[in-house]
Amino acid sequence: MSQKNIYGGLEGGGTKFACVVAYGPDEIIDETRFPTTTPEETIAKAITFFKRHAIAAIGLAPFGPLDLNPASPTYGHITATPKPGWTGANICEQFRRAFDIPIACELDVGAAAFGEYYWRPENRRLDSLVYFTIGTGIGAGIIANRRLVHGLVHPEAGHFRIPHDWTVDPYAGNCPFHGDCFEGLACGPAISQRWGQSADKLTDEHPAWELEAAYIASALTSVICILSPQRIVLGGGVMQRKQLFPAIRHKVQELLNGYIPSPVIMERMDEYIVPPGLGHRSGVLGAVALAKVLIE
């Protein structure tokens, strides 16, 4: 009788690394989290953790920007990150040297999109899904035709332009590259800087949330018009503010103004724009799923 495989999954964030060893979301065997320090120390810790288990494959999902082009000489490298010491870090290569098993490499938010798609039965029926994280930064993983979208590089859907009315919101945005792109206007640190108080400390009644919902709705409206995804999952620290969900759904409907002839958008918005089914584990369990599909 063949034994069931166990898989490793790693989500490498700018502030912490999360690692799991699991059969799947309901059968997690071991799990750890530790702060992101230097690449040497952090990657060594992760390798030591996975070495304790007889895993069949590993999925790695570090923060980006990440070179995911297998033909590139810098494949697997973290490219120009503002995170000190991490530009040029190559988690994938170091794992390949340490383990003689298949290794998948994907951007953290791509893995999160794949995790939500692969493990959640309500998503698995779909062909397309977009996962946004709205946290320290903004990024998206895009599933189209049941596959993660990669192109020139990976999608950078946190950095497109959205309308910015300077009379309503004189804040210039905090993106070091674009100022008032979507991330520059709507990520957690932008909310904190605009209002002079940490985003997680603002009251639920604060006007910050209406503006935040408007920016997110504006971005999602473009995404819906361009990609026509069958579901949009919104994760990340800022989306812990649950009141944003109904506000965003309502504003998306308002902005689309009846133009998209889908009953999901007309009548079932609460099934269309949703929180992550895997909670805070979308990324790490997505990495597990990417490992699993490598050897299936």
Q: Which residue has 């952090």 as its token pair?
A: 42
Query: Which residues are CB-contacts of 237 (< 8 A; sequence separation ≥ 6)?
Result: 134, 135, 136, 188, 199, 200
CB of 180 to Zn ion, least distance (A): 8
Residue 36: alpha-carbon gap to chain centroid: 17
In the list 175, 187, 223, 287, the residue contacting Zn ion (rule: CB under 5 A) is 175
Cα 280 from Cα 264, distance rounded (Å): 26
Judged by beta carbon, residue 65 or residue 237, the one nearer ligand ADP is 237
Q: Which is nearer to ligand ADP, 14 or 102 (CB)?
A: 14
Among 107, 143, 181, 208, binds Zn ion (CB under 5 A): 181
Instruction: Report if residue 248 touches Zn ion, rule: CB under 5 A.
Output: no
User: What is the C-alpha separation between 52 and 222, in angstroms, rounded?
Assistant: 45
Q: Identify what 238 binds: Zn ion, ligand ADP, none; CB under 5 to 8 Å per kind.
A: ligand ADP
Tell me which residue of 238, 226, 231, 95 sits closest to 155, measured CA to CA.
226
Helix (H) / strand (E) containing 105: strand 103-105
Identity of the residue, 72 or 198, whose beta carbon is nearer to ligand ADP in the bound complex = 198
CB nearer ligand ADP, residue 13 or residue 62: 13
Q: Kindly state the DSSP code that residue 4 receives in the 8-state scheme.
A: P
- d(CA 123, CA 101) in angstroms, rounded, equals 29
Task: Considering the complex, state which of residue 62 and residue 135 has its C-beta at the smaller distance from ligand ADP.
Answer: 135
Residue 159: name its binding partner from Zn ion, ligand ADP, none (Cβ under 5 to 8 Å by kind): Zn ion
Which of 204/296 has CB closer to ligand ADP?
Answer: 204
C-alpha atoms less than 13 angstroms from C-alpha of 43 in its C-beta half-sphere: 19
Binding Zn ion by CB under 5 A: which of 53, 96, 150, 159? 159
Write out the residues near ligand ADP by the rule CB under 6 A: 13-15, 133, 135-136, 188-189, 192, 198-200, 236-238, 240-241
Q: Which does 228 bind (CB under 5 to 8 A by kind): ligand ADP, Zn ion, none?
A: none
Give alpha helix (H) positions in 146-195.
Answer: 182-186, 188-195
3-state helix, strand, coil in the chain (%, to 5): 40, 20, 40
Verify binding: residue 161, Zn ion, rule CB under 5 A: no
The entry of ligand ADP, Zn ion, none near residue 199 (CB within 5 to 8 angstroms by kind) is ligand ADP
Q: CB nearest ligand ADP: which residue?
A: 188
